[in-house]
């Protein structure tokens, strides 16, 4: 049976991640495993408790209580939910527990992008080390808005092809619109035009047709409403500008090990740190390109 792994720590970010996971499980029929990493020296005031966590039993009780509340709020009474408290650093625990999962879901806190990227937050670590696609849920996400489109960034990379494949599966499953977005630089057309003066309408029409054919090829025989878009500017900022309430934003990321390239400001990093909607990061590794749960 497919399952969604979600990191829960008692914080608002963890609650939002759990809420998203339960709502996703209602639509997909997947199970949910809620994991709380625990360390004997952990101070838990930020998790809504008081003082030092002295045993994993108290942590398990707090996790179970949180899951009970969020199940009722999410309308997920019929979802198979399991809870686990695992001793160890949160990032390491989630990466290990995510083996075999369809998705790993984490919450995004309010710290600065620089602090998260350089200092190594749980969400950043999960993006680098998880063996499956990672969903990052933004602060304040409530899930009250109507379901929107699946918006996916597409370029020439293998990572974006993986992201498109995941997005096609999700759009087909939920019968929602698929929006492949190609962002080109402001001077890209001029560089490739013979006289330096590009025919923008003609070029854009060709790009739109190419994007649609690419998505249709990935979709195979699946009936998917495809609405490709071409935007000009910085890839990360343009994808952020395109995302609307209720959408899911999907981006590709390089294989594990390309840590410094990701930290120094790739499109996926920009989107993950600033998106107002949940972001799905799909690696180019073949084993990570699975159908949505």
Q: Give the model confidence (pLDDT) of 168-205 as tens digits.
A: 999 999 999 999 999 987 655 544 455 554 545 566 78
pLDDT, tens digit, for every residue of 13-28? Answer: 899 999 999 999 999 9
Q: Are 258 and 104 in contact (CB under 8 A)?
A: no
CATH domain 3-137 topology: Rossmann fold (3.40.50)
150-288: same fold as 3-137? yes
pLDDT, residue 109, reads: 79
Radius of gyration over every alpha carbon of the chain, rounded to an integer in angstroms = 20
pTM of the complete model: 0.83
Task: List Cβ neighbours of 288 (8 Å cut-off, separation of 6 or more).
Answer: 131, 132, 133, 162, 282
Please state the domain extents for the chain: 3-137, 150-288
150-288 is classed CATH 2.30.42.10: no
pLDDT, residue 70, reads: 93
């Amino acid at each position: 049976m497919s399952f969604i792994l979600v990191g829960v720590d008692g914080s608002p970010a963890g609650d939002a991640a759990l809420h998203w996971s339960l709502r996703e499980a209602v639509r997909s029929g997947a199970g949910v495993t809620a994991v709380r990493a625990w360390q004997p020296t952990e101070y838990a005031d930020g998790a809504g408790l008081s003082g030092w966590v002295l045993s994993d039993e108290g942590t398990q009780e707090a996790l179970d209580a949180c899951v009970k509340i969020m199940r009722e709020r999410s309308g997920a009474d019929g979802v198979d939910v399991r809870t686990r408290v695992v001793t160890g650093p949160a990032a390491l625990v989630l990466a290990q527990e995510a083996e075999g999962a369809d998705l790993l879901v984490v919450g995004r806190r309010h710290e600065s992008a620089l602090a998260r990227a350089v200092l190594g937050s749980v969400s950043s670590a999960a993006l680098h080390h998880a063996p499956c696609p990672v969903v990052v849920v933004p602060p304040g996400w409530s899930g009250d808005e109507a379901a929107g489109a699946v918006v996916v960034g597409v370029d020439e990379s293998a990572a974006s092809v993986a992201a498109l494949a995941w997005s096609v599966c999700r759009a087909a499953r939920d019968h929602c619109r698929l929006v492949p977005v190609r962002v080109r630089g402001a001077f890209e057309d001029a560089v490739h035009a013979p006289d330096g003066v590009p025919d923008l309408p003609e070029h854009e029409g060709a790009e739109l047709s190419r994007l649609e054919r690419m998505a249709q090829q990935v979709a195979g025989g699946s009936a998917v409403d495809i609405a490709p878009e071409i935007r000009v500017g910085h890839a990360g900022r343009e994808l952020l500008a395109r995302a609307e309430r209720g959408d899911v934003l999907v981006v590709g990321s390089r294989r594990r090990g390309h840590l410094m390239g990701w930290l120094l400001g790739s499109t996926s990093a920009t989107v993950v740190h600033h998106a107002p909607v949940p972001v799905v990061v799909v690696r180019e590794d073949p084993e990570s390109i699975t159908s949505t749960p």
